[in-house]
Chains A and B, each alone.
Chain A
């Protein structure tokens, strides 16, 4: 009862209650952020996301070093060897459902690979690619 009131109050105030989100929600949020970063933002590209994912960006590692080039496949931590569950939401429904987790991993891994934070454009491109990597095959 109390939680119903809290949710109603949150909705009335326009505050989104804490809940599991969907990959599309993250994509929309990245798009809004990308528009703020660059008024000429023209949408995300799965092709660009795939290229970004496989590139080393001048360092030793790419995203694929741990996650492999197939987002439907499990990867392996390049240093410790520990298994990493697939990134594609179609292969792993837990992906892109928790904002704190998404934020944490982009922060850690962009620093690992790019030595700097990713832009919203880059994150959105990668997510666009991951979202096209369904059971039918990675593109």
Chain B
């Protein structure tokens, strides 16, 4: 089991190194994350940069914050304004929609699949595996909004939750 995990991690390290050699779609020009966004959204998950979803997707996410993937993530209207402005101004220009319906999950977007297509599916599925939504498990600067390959490192065995 140990050997298997080690093999998996090594093979993933090679795969990830290969895939990050291409220009990352998630590395378009960066805007600083507004403090309100980090506080209100970054409390429960990484404050995902605006460039990860298009404007329609972000509008749909914001409209549904009271039931946000099963939890109440509501933000009072005054605090929400800078968050809305940040997401609108940094949103992805290419659409993140399926059949005209805005996607809400970053992990379901085409770009996410493309960027991670060399990571074997089982990497996410092993018992105790990293959750796909837990960007920071591998992208060590994700909390600061950076997904550059310099800060990319797969979790050591036992490090992932």
Which A residues are closer than 8 A to B by beta carbons? Answer: 76-77, 79-82, 104, 107-109, 111-112
Contacts and interface: CB of A to CB of B under 8 A. Distances in A.
B131 A108 contact: no
B134 A111 contact: no
Interface residue range, chain B: 10 to 19
B70 interface: yes
Contacts of B43: 82
17 contacts: A76-B161, A79-B69, A79-B70, A79-B71, A80-B133, A80-B134, A81-B161, A82-B44, A82-B45, A82-B134, A104-B76, A107-B72, A108-B72, A108-B73, A108-B74, A111-B66, A112-B72
Interface string B50-78: 00000000000000001001111110100
A63 B69 CA distance: 17
The 7 closest A-B pairs by CB, nearest first: A111-B72, A80-B45, A108-B72, A81-B161, A112-B71, A77-B44, A81-B131
Contacts, number: 33
A76 B160 CA distance: 13
Contacts of B70: 79, 112
Given A104-B76, A111-B72, A112-B71, 15 more contacts: A76-B161, A77-B45, A79-B71, A80-B44, A81-B131, A81-B161, A82-B43, A82-B44, A82-B134, A107-B72, A107-B74, A108-B72, A108-B74, A109-B72, A112-B70
A81 to B, nearest CB: 5
B74 A80 contact: no
- The majority secondary structure among interface residues of chain B is loop
Interface of B: 43-46, 66, 69-74, 76, 131, 133-134, 161
Contacts of A109: 72
Nearest to B42: A82
A14 B43 CA distance: 35
A74 to B, nearest CB: 12
A117 to B, nearest CB: 10
Contacts of B44: 77, 79-80, 82
Contacts of A79: 44, 69-71
Contacts of B76: 104
A79 B69 CA distance: 9
